[in-house]
Amino acid sequence: MNRDREIDPAADSLAWREAHLPELTPARVAALKKAGFDADRLRHLARTTYGRSLAVSVLVCFTDAYPQAASVQDVARAGEANRRITSRSSAQFEKALAAHGLHSQGPRSDAAAGSVLPPLLPGRRPTTSRRWWLGWSLALLLALFGTTLLASLDFGIGAVLGAVLLAVGWLLLVRRLAYGPYRNQVPKRTRLLYAAAAVAFVIGSAGAADAVMLCFGQHGVGRVDSATQETGTHGTVYTQCSVDEPDGSWAELRFGGACPGPEGTPVPMFYFAGGDDSTPWRPVPGTAGSVAPLVALWGVGTLVGCGLLTRAALTP
């Protein structure tokens, strides 16, 4: 059969571009030729919907046009494309696959189709770039939500929920979304970087409230209002100090414990105007100098956590 009889390179190239398929650069054309595929015939194959799926799998297996690693289905579709548009034998096709660290299970393999994945090659992401970065970005946002926003309202709740959210981010966003079918092949280095980032975020959450107040709150001198005995959720009795803020509103201090002095004692503090009735953030006693160490702890922990997560995302 004359395989070139109906090929129209100009029309096929136009259809290729209209289908938004990757550009066949000289390097990719050379890689295809080395694997036994002619670029013009591949473009012609992609004129149909089914042929397009075969062409995409060929590109996944033998070029850098797509970032994800080739799956068993990709290898099978590339094999079908090999039979349709090349004269290479199955043995030659297997050699081309082996040069890229791949292999064909064959139609009568004991392993069910799709149940065995080819090894994840170094430097190649297991999914598309969009899915990869979406997973890591959402994991980062989840970490910041728990260890900065929630921790700025309540350190205990923020640290615990932050750790839980980081675990959820790992299981659902990194392993399932970013790694997809390769979730069980996450490199040890990536796991260690994520764990270290989680520790940094949780440690940094201790200074989240001070950082929020220093950056967004107001500073002034209020006065001690009163100290009351309250009972916590586990039956623990503790002292809670309330103050009159500089704007005249009333609020409880963020942390429990004795008041800085008797009733009427001046107290420098960071606060949001309006008191407990207008904002969930409680005032933090102190000056810029006294809260600076905790703000620095939050800053260092958060920056280190972000850096470690970024490093993990850049080393698939």
- Against a cut of 0.75, is the pTM above it? no
- Domain locations along the chain: 9-98
Interior/surface letters 72-94, b for 16+ CB within 10 angstroms, e for the rest: bebbbbbbbbbeebbebeeeebb
> For residues 252 and 311, what is the distance between their CA atoms, to the nearest angstrom?
41
Count CB-CB contacts under 10 A for residue 165: 22
Q: Which stretches within the chain are classed as H helix?
A: 9-18, 26-34, 39-45, 49-62, 72-85, 90-98, 129-144, 151-153, 155-168, 188-204, 208-216, 288-314
DSSP 245: -
For residue 48, give Cα distances in angstroms to 77, 84, 217, 289: 14, 13, 62, 69
pLDDT at residue 113 is higher than 50: no
Instruction: Please give the pLDDT value at position 173.
Output: 92
Mean pLDDT of the chain: 86
Instruction: Please give the pLDDT value at position 1.
Output: 42
Confidence bin at 276 (pLDDT 50/70/90)? low
Segment 238-251, tens digit of pLDDT? 888 999 999 888 88
Segment 22-52, tens digit of pLDDT? 999 999 999 999 999 999 999 999 999 999 9
Segment 162-181, tens digit of pLDDT? 999 999 999 999 988 888 87
In 3D space, the residue among 189, 186, 136, 188 whose CA is nearest the CA of residue 166 turns out to be: 136
